[in-house]
């Protein structure tokens, strides 16, 4: 094979903070529900990630920081020694294959069910506001449970869950971590005034509503140092839970992003549009203006194709581009994009569960 004639540096090495990438193609975090009930990865997960190690950066599937943070069955965790040891097998194998991998740290907040919570307790959230939709549990799909509002004196424990998870991710051999502050999970539930009706120091004003995110970032960067922590934001998505937008997206996320600059993060990872649906941006919101406030590297995400990635990279609007679903059925996605090889399509049946089927059985173009 020879390089295509398109002029782009998407396939050239780069750095995001202190994280070195072989190319600018990022594998987005993809929940696949292929671990056991204890959230421990297995050899199938090792194979899956190694198959995709040609990505410039692999962002792991969203990984629960605690038993309380869990919102979907058969999703991995990073709070026990057994989980650390299992993830270490994944990262070791990815590194041997020449890959680079960070872990996405996840607390779902209100997007859970009592069957998934310790002692069947209600999920926690900034406010007792129920999300819409259903959750995948060991007993099948069930309606999301009504959450309870976190007490102010419980907030330090949430921050400690993130710090502990960051420490365990480091022990598990990852090259960095990504804080999941998107898709209307716990941290974004605090950010938005649609889901945060608190009256303490974590609610009300923009400064108060972003306080928890900044405290989490401070704790996680305290473990990892400069340039190895990224963050994912999704200012205009209503997913998950059919969640209303913040009443002033530009002011809220603009303030947050400017405050994030003090932490010298590796990158900002944006969901551009509505997760899994479209790239429509509501009137009066300018995501490019928001991302321009960030002083570090920027990863664009959401329904990109190669042409869009090349165009936005040429205009300086992205430093790297994240692909999600295409990586499911194209483990060699980087080569397929680079050499203009037709992509294999995927359907919903392959997304979750089913063991190796639809997970590690996708052929490479040259196999």
Give the residue numbers annotated as catalytic, written as ranges.
185
Would you give the DSSP letter of residue 145?
A: P
Q: Report in angstroms the alpha-carbon separations of 182 from 114, 244, 247, 273.
A: 22, 13, 16, 12
Contacts of 40 (CB under 8 A, 6+ apart): 76, 77, 80, 82, 83, 86
Q: Do 353 and 33 touch, CB atoms closer than 8 A?
A: yes
Helix (H) or strand (E) holding 54: none
And the tokens for 290?
A: 């928001």
Q: Report in angstroms the alpha-carbon separations of 317 from 62, 125, 168, 300.
A: 26, 34, 34, 8
Long-range residue pairs from 112-116, CB within 8 A, at least 24 positions apart, any chain: 112/70, 112/71, 112/144, 112/145, 112/147, 113/71, 113/137, 113/142, 113/143, 113/144, 113/145, 114/145, 115/139, 115/142, 116/70, 116/71, 116/72, 116/73
Q: Report in angstroms the alpha-carbon separations of 231 from 67, 86, 182, 193, 221.
A: 22, 24, 9, 20, 11
Q: Do 38 and 82 touch, CB atoms closer than 8 A?
A: yes
Q: How far is CA 284 from the centre of its chain?
A: 26
Contacts of 26 (CB under 8 A, 6+ apart): 55, 56, 57, 58, 59, 299, 301, 320, 321, 322, 323
And the tokens for 125?
A: 């959230």
């Amino acid at each position: 094979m020879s390089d295509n004639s398109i002029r782009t540096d998407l396939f050239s090495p780069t750095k995001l903070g202190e994280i070195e990438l072989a190319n600018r193609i990022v594998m987005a975090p993809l929940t696949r529900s292929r671990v056991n009930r204890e959230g421990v990865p297995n050899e199938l997960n090792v194979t899956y990630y190694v198959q995709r190690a040609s990505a410039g950066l692999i962002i792991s599937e969203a990984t629960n920081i605690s038993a309380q943070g869990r919102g979907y069955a058969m999703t991995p965790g990073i709070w026990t020694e057994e989980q650390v040891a299992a993830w270490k097998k994944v990262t070791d194998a990815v590194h041997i294959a020449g890959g680079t991998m960070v872990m996405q740290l996840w607390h779902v907040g209100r997007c859970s069910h009592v069957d998934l919570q310790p002692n069947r307790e209600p999920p926690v959230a900034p406010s007792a506001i129920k999300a819409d939709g259903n959750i995948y549990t060991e007993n099948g799909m069930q309606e999301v449970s009504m959450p309870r509002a976190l007490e102010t004196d419980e907030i330090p424990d949430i921050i400690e869950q993130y710090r502990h998870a960051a420490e365990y991710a480091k022990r598990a051999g990852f090259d960095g971590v990504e804080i999941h502050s998107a898709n209307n999970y716990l941290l974004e539930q605090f950010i938005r005034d649609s889901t945060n009706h608190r009256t303490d120091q974590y609610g009300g004003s923009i400064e108060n509503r972003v306080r928890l995110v900044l405290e989490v970032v401070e704790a996680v960067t305290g473990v990892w140092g400069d340039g190895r922590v990224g963050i994912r934001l999704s200012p205009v998505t209503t997913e998950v839970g059919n969640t209303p937008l913040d009443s002033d997206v530009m002011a809220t996320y603009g303030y947050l992003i400017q405050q994030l600059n003090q932490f010298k993060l590796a990158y900002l990872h944006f969901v551009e549009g509505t997760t899994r649906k479209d790239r429509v941006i509501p009137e009066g919101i300018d995501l490019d203006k928001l991302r321009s406030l960030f002083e570090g590297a920027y990863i664009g995400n959401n329904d990109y194709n190669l042409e869009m990635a090349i165009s936005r990279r040429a205009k300086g609007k992205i430093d790297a581009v994240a692909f999600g679903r295409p990586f499911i059925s194209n483990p060699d996605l980087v080569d397929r994009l680079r050499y203009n090889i037709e992509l294999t399509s995927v359907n919903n049946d392959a997304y979750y569960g089913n063991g190796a089927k639809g997970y590690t059985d996708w052929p490479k173009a040259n196999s």
